[in-house]
Chains A and B, each alone.
Chain A
C-alpha cells in the first residue's frame, strides 16, 4: 500500500499468510475449476480426465447467449437503480447529524444479516395476491381486488436491489462523507441551484466512487441464483441458475465449469471497460 519495497525478511513474512490464504482458498479452487472445464463429459456418468475442448464449443447455443445477455442486463439495471437511489440517499445521510448517520448505517448493516432465501421469500409474500401489499391497497380503496405481482421481472428487480442497496450505501459512504463541504458551498455562492450543485459538483467530484459502486453491485447481483428462482419466471432465470442446474442436478461439472469461466471472463471484460470509460472521462475533464 505504501509503495515502498519491503526492507527485510519480517515485512516479507507479513504478506506470506494472506498470500497463502489466497492460494489455498482462491487460486487452487479456481485452477481445479479451469482444469475440470477441459475434461471430457461422459453422458450418464461423470467425467473422465481427458483434455476436451467440447465444453467450450457447446457453450454457444441460442439459449446460453440469451440467458447470458439477460443476466448481464438485469445485473446492470439493478446496479443502475441501486446507485441511482443510493447516491442521493447516502449524500443526505452524510449531511445529517452524526447520531442519525450512525442509526442509518447500523440499520443498513442489519439488513445485510438477512440471507438471500429470507429476502426472496419475504418479497414473494409481500407481492403475493393472498397476503401481499395489494390487499392493503384494496383496503385503502385504491384497487378493486388483490392481485399477484410475483413472479415477475419487477419483483426480481426489487429483490436484487433490496439485497444490493446496503452494499451500495456502504461503498459510497466513505467518499461522500469525506467530500469537502466547501465545494458545494462555493457552487451555491456562485449562484447554482441545489439540484445543479448536486449534479455538477457532487456527482462530478465523486465520479470514481460512483463507478466503483456500480461495478460492485453489478458483480454482486450477477451471482444471485436463488432470487431468480423465487421471484422470476423461467425466462428470468440467470446464468447462475443454469450453472447450478448443470452442476448439481445433471452432474455435468465440466460444462458448468466452462459456463462459469466464460461468464466470469465476460463480466470481467465489462468491468474493465466500465473502469476504463470512467478513467477516460476523468482525463477529458
Chain B
C-alpha cells in the first residue's frame, strides 16, 4: 500500500485529465441512454473477502443474474481503508477496480473528502422506501452517496455457565463482581466504547461533541479497566475464551455469538436496554465506474425486503429495511437484530480533525 501510494501521488497529475475525459464520456453515454436490455452486461461488485464474499457468491449473486441478466463479477476487497486507497488511486487513472463496493462507515466519510462516491438518485432506487432512515448515507450537502448494504450488531455477551442471569445494561460491566472478567475490543474506532459509555451514563452522545466531554467519558471508561482481562483486536482470541468461560463477559458480534449458542456453546448475546451497537457497510458507486445504470438495478435489488430477509437467514446480517416488511419470524429476527433502538457509532469522531487526538488519549487511557 505504502509503495503504491508513494508512487501514485507523484504521477497522478498526468492521469487526472484522462480521468475527467473518461468521466465526461461516461456521463454523456448515460445521457444518450444505454440499451435497455442488460443481458450480457457485467457488474463488478466489491465485497469484503472471506465469509461475506463466499456467502454473496452462493446466496445472492446467482439469483440476481437470473432475474436481471446482469452478470456479477465479485471482487474480494480488504476491510478497513486499504480498499478506499486502491479505489481512489484507480479512479485517478479513470479505472474502477469495482463498480460497486461495500464500504464501512469510516472509509465512507474519508472518501467524501475526495468525492470518490458517485451521488445517487433515490428516484432510481424505488425500494429505498423500505430502508431504515440511517441507512441512507449522505454527503454534507445532502446528496446521497451510499445505501445501506449490510448491518450487524455488537452486543453484551456472556457465558451462561458463569453468569446464570443475563445482564440487562452496559452498566453491568462496571460492577465490582466483573473484576478481571471482561473482553473488550482494543481500539477506540472499532469498540465504540465511547458511544456506549456516553449513552449509558451521560444520556446520549452529545457529550462527545467537545474535548472535555470526551475526556470525561474516557475517565468513566478508565474505571472499567480493572474488570477487563483482554483487550482484543482479533475476534478469534475472544470467542474461544468466552466459550470456555475463561473470559465470561464482554462485547462481541451478535450474529456470531448467536451462531455459537446454536452450536451448543454456553454463550448468550444480550441487547442491553441502552441498545446494541449497530455498525454497517454501504453500497457505493466509484466515480470512475461506467455502469451507473446497472448499479441502480443492483442496489435497488439489494434493498428489496425479501433479499434483506434472505441475507438475515443465510448470512446472519441485520436487515437494513424496516422489520415489518421483512417477513422474518420473531426467532429469525432476534437472531440478527432487536427492536431496542440501537446506538449508532459516531464515525465522525474517528475520521475528523480530532481523530489522532482521540486515538492518542485512548491508547494512553488503556495502556496506563
CB-contact partner of A130 in B9, B244, B355, under 8 A: B244
Interfacial residues of chain A within 66-111, with CB under 8 A of chain B in the complex: 67
Q: Is the pair B363, A63 in contact by a Cβ cutoff of 8 Å?
A: yes
Q: Is the pair A43, B190 in contact by a Cβ cutoff of 8 Å?
A: no
Q: A172 at interface (Cβ–Cβ under 8 A)?
A: no
Say which one of A10-18, A246-254, A275-283 lies at the interface with B.
A246-254
Q: Is the pair B244, A128 in contact by a Cβ cutoff of 8 Å?
A: yes
Say which one of B62-70, B124-132, B228-236, B251-259 lies at the interface with A.
B228-236
Tell me, in angstroms, the Cα distance from A70 to B68 when the chains sit together. 60
| Chain B residues near A44 (CB-CB < 8 A) | 109-110, 113, 351-353, 355
Q: Is the pair B367, A63 in contact by a Cβ cutoff of 8 Å?
A: yes
Say which one of A214-222, A229-237, A262-270 lies at the interface with B.
A229-237
In the complex, the chain A residue whose C-beta lies closest to that of B230 is A151
In whole Å, how far is B233's beta carbon from the nearest beta carbon of chain A?
6
Interfacial residues of chain A within 126-161, with CB under 8 A of chain B in the complex: 128-131, 148, 151
Q: Is the pair A49, B10 in contact by a Cβ cutoff of 8 Å?
A: yes
Q: List 12 A-B contacts (CB under 8 A).
A: A32-B2, A43-B354, A44-B351, A46-B85, A49-B10, A61-B364, A131-B246, A242-B363, A245-B187, A249-B189, A250-B189, A252-B356
In whole Å, how far is B211's beta carbon from the nearest beta carbon of chain A?
14
Q: A33 at interface (Cβ–Cβ under 8 A)?
A: yes
Tell me, in angstroms, the Cα distance from A251 to B233 when the chains sit together. 16
Q: Interface centre among B2, B9, B109, B241, by most A CB within 10 Å? A: B2
Known contacts A45-B110, A49-B9, A36 near B2 by CB under 8 Å: yes
CB-contact partner of B244 in A62, A131, A151, A251, under 8 A: A131
| Chain A residues near B229 (CB-CB < 8 A) | 148, 151
Known contacts A46-B85, A130-B245, A234-B366, A250 near B355 by CB under 8 Å: yes
Q: Is the pair B110, A249 in contact by a Cβ cutoff of 8 Å?
A: no
Name B residues whose Cβ lies closer than 8 Å to a Cβ of A: 2-3, 5-6, 9-10, 80-81, 85, 109-110, 113, 186-187, 189-190, 229-234, 237, 241, 244-246, 351-356, 359-360, 363-364, 366-368
Summarize B's interface: helix, strand, loop or mixed.
helix
Name A residues whose Cβ lies closer than 8 Å to a Cβ of B: 29, 32-33, 35-36, 41, 43-46, 49, 61-63, 67, 121, 128-131, 148, 151, 229-230, 234-235, 237, 242, 245-246, 248-253, 255
| Chain A residues near B244 (CB-CB < 8 A) | 128, 130-131
Q: Is the pair B237, A230 in contact by a Cβ cutoff of 8 Å?
A: yes
Q: Interface centre among B5, B80, B85, B187, by most A CB within 10 Å? A: B5
Q: Is the pair A63, B351 in contact by a Cβ cutoff of 8 Å?
A: no
Q: Is the pair B367, A235 in contact by a Cβ cutoff of 8 Å?
A: yes
Total residue contacts A-B, CB cutoff 8 A: 83
Q: Is the pair A32, B80 in contact by a Cβ cutoff of 8 Å?
A: no
Q: Which 7 A-B pairs have the closest CB atoms?
A: A234-B367, A130-B244, A44-B351, A234-B366, A130-B246, A63-B364, A251-B81
In the complex, the chain B residue whose C-beta lies closest to that of A49 is B9
Q: Is the pair A248, B2 in contact by a Cβ cutoff of 8 Å?
A: no
Known: A235-B367, A252-B356. 8 other contacts (CB 8 A): A32-B6, A62-B364, A63-B360, A63-B364, A67-B367, A230-B237, A234-B366, A255-B356
Q: Is the pair B363, A245 in contact by a Cβ cutoff of 8 Å?
A: yes
CB-contact partner of A43 in B81, B355, B363, B367, under 8 A: B355
| Chain A residues near B368 (CB-CB < 8 A) | 235
In the complex, the chain B residue whose C-beta lies closest to that of A28 is B3
In whole Å, how far is B234's beta carbon from the nearest beta carbon of chain A?
8
CB-contact partner of B353 in A36, A43, A121, A253, under 8 A: A43
Tell me, in angstroms, the Cα distance from A206 to B29 when the chains sit together. 77
| Chain B residues near A131 (CB-CB < 8 A) | 244, 246
Q: Interface centre among B189, B233, B354, B364, by most A CB within 10 Å? A: B233
In the complex, the chain A residue whose C-beta lies closest to that of B88 is A46
Tell me, in angstroms, the Cα distance from A235 to B363 when the chains sit together. 10
Tell me, in angstroms, the Cα distance from A61 to B356 when the chains sit together. 13
In the complex, the chain A residue whose C-beta lies closest to that of B10 is A49
CB-contact partner of A46 in B5, B359, B367, under 8 A: B5
In whole Å, how far is A18's beta carbon from the nearest beta carbon of chain B?
22
In the complex, the chain A residue whose C-beta lies closest to that of B81 is A251
Tell me, in angstroms, the Cα distance from A63 to B363 when the chains sit together. 8
In whole Å, how far is B222's beta carbon from the nearest beta carbon of chain A?
12
| Chain B residues near A63 (CB-CB < 8 A) | 360, 363-364, 367
| Chain B residues near A252 (CB-CB < 8 A) | 356, 359
| Chain A residues near B190 (CB-CB < 8 A) | 249
| Chain A residues near B356 (CB-CB < 8 A) | 41, 43, 250, 252, 255
| Chain A residues near B80 (CB-CB < 8 A) | 248-249
Tell me, in angstroms, the Cα distance from A18 to B189 when the chains sit together. 43
| Chain B residues near A43 (CB-CB < 8 A) | 352-356
In whole Å, how far is B353's beta carbon from the nearest beta carbon of chain A?
5
| Chain A residues near B2 (CB-CB < 8 A) | 32-33, 36, 253
CB-contact partner of B3 in A29, A67, A235, A246, under 8 A: A29
Tell me, in angstroms, the Cα distance from A245 to B189 when the chains sit together. 11
| Chain B residues near A151 (CB-CB < 8 A) | 229-230
Q: Is the pair A61, B351 in contact by a Cβ cutoff of 8 Å?
A: no
Q: Is the pair B231, A234 in contact by a Cβ cutoff of 8 Å?
A: yes
In the complex, the chain B residue whose C-beta lies closest to that of A48 is B9
Tell me, in angstroms, the Cα distance from A242 to B362 when the chains sit together. 12
